[in-house]
């Protein structure tokens, strides 16, 4: 179903790649010949079937501009984007978990209110503005890190990491501000539960009770939010990759839209859809890993069905 929607919407976009290639002064006969060569004169349903047949065999086809194989282009860009998104989420979780737990345990104190206020402020900062601010500070003023560009991991691992620090911090810090709110809410729910009060009554400290019981019980909510925010990070990567000139999926997508190179746009959108579906599947598996009761319920349901 997703493939039908993606193919239909993209092919209904205004503009014509043939006009981009040949220019506005091209002769009608040349336009007709090129449209025939590119298969654009065939009905849309047949083009969809041909496109899907290629996807099922791992063939993304050729780009409309330059007739370059799309698969290697998308694979190269995907590696950059996944590196950025995964590292940014690691940074976001590393900041949000302790900050959210701190804000929950001290929610009635000034320090907890300050953490919550800072997270609200961070949520209101646009990603591109955060990126520009980090560039001005660490690249322009302090000269600690490069402002843009990309080096492949296998070519120079150290330079690869240096060039990803600012983009990762841009995405990670902004995302951490969003996650702190949800982590705080999840831990506040735990603090009000009977098992937590029982643990406190037998002499456990807040920190020990929260680490022993809170993480697992709040984990389902946190994992759900992280799964949803990973999809948001994929969208945010489009902006960050263009700010820092990273050759990822976002930059390739914007360049292809500008050139009206629909085959590349279709391939990128389908890859993003597949990534989101894969993230949802991983989140579902994480549920059962965190809470064994879900496995028990599934087993009971299967027994009842039988």
Which tens digit of pLDDT belongs to each residue from 174-189? 889 889 988 888 888 8
State how far the alpha carbon of 294 is from the alpha carbons of 101, 216, 219, 279, 284, in Å.
Answer: 25, 13, 13, 19, 10
Quote the CA–CA distance of 96 and 102 in Å, as a whole number.
10
Same structural domain, 48 and 76: no
Query: Does residue 85 fall inside a structural domain?
Result: yes
Query: Does residue 301 fall inside a structural domain?
Result: no
CATH number at residue 253: 1.10.3720.10
Same structural domain, 222 and 163: yes
How many domains are there within the chain? 2
The reported pLDDT for the residue numbered 283 is 78
Does position 298 have pLDDT exceeding 50, yes or no? no
Question: Residue 45 class from Cβ within 10 Å (0-12 exposed, 13-18 middle, 19+ buried)?
Answer: exposed
Query: Does residue 112 fall inside a structural domain?
Result: yes
Query: Does residue 66 fall inside a structural domain?
Result: no
Q: Among residues of the chain, what percentage have pLDDT more than 70? A: 84
Query: Does residue 244 fall inside a structural domain?
Result: yes
For residues 68 and 148, the answer to whether their CB atoms sit within 8 Å is no
Alpha helices in 149-214 (DSSP H): 157-191, 194-201, 206-209
**Sequence-ordered list of residues with C-beta below 8 angstroms from that of 202, at least 6 positions apart, any chain:** none
Same structural domain, 33 and 148: no
Residues of the domain holding 26: 2-56
Does position 6 have pLDDT exceeding 70, yes or no? yes
Tell me, yes or no, if the pTM score tops 0.85: no
Same structural domain, 153 and 12: no
Does position 109 have pLDDT exceeding 70, yes or no? yes
Same structural domain, 79 and 9: no
Of 61-65, 66-70, 88-92, 194-198, the range with the lowest mean pLDDT is: 194-198
Same structural domain, 228 and 112: yes
For residues 216 and 228, the answer to whether their CB atoms sit within 8 Å is no
pLDDT band at 128 (very low <50, low <70, confident <90, very high): confident
């Amino acid at each position: 179903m997703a493939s039908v929607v993606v193919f239909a919407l993209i092919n209904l976009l205004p503009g014509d790649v043939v006009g981009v290639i040949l220019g506005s002064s091209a002769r009608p006969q040349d336009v007709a010949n090129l449209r025939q060569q590119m298969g654009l004169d065939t009905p849309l349903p047949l083009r969809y079937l041909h496109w899907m047949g290629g996807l099922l065999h791992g063939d993304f086809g050729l780009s409309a501009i330059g007739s370059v194989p799309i698969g290697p282009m998308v694979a190269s860009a995907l590696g950059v984007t996944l590196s950025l998104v995964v590292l940014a989420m690691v940074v976001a979780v590393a900041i949000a978990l302790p900050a959210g737990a701190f804000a929950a345990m001290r929610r009635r104190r000034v320090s907890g209110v300050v953490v919550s206020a800072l997270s609200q402020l961070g949520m209101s900062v646009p990603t591109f503005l955060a990126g520009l601010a980090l560039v001005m500070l660490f690249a322009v003023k302090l000269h600690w890190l490069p402002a843009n560009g990309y080096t492949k991991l296998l070519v120079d691992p150290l330079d690869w990491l240096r060039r990803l620090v600012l983009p990762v911090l841009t995405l990670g810090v902004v995302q951490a501000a969003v996650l702190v709110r949800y982590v705080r809410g999840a831990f506040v729910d735990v603090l009000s539960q009977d098992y937590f009060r029982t643990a406190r009554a037998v002499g456990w400290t807040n920190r020990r009770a929260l680490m022993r019981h809170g993480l697992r019980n709040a984990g389902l909510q946190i994992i759900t939010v992280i799964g949803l925010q990973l999809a948001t990070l994929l969208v945010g990567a489009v902006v960050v990759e263009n700010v820092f000139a990273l050759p990822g999926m976002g930059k390739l997508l914007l360049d292809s839209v500008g050139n009206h190179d629909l085959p590349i746009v279709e391939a990128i959108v389908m890859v993003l859809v597949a990534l989101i579906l894969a993230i949802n599947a991983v989140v579902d598996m994480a549920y059962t890993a965190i809470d064994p009761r879900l496995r028990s319920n599934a087993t009971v349901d299967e027994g009842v069905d039988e």
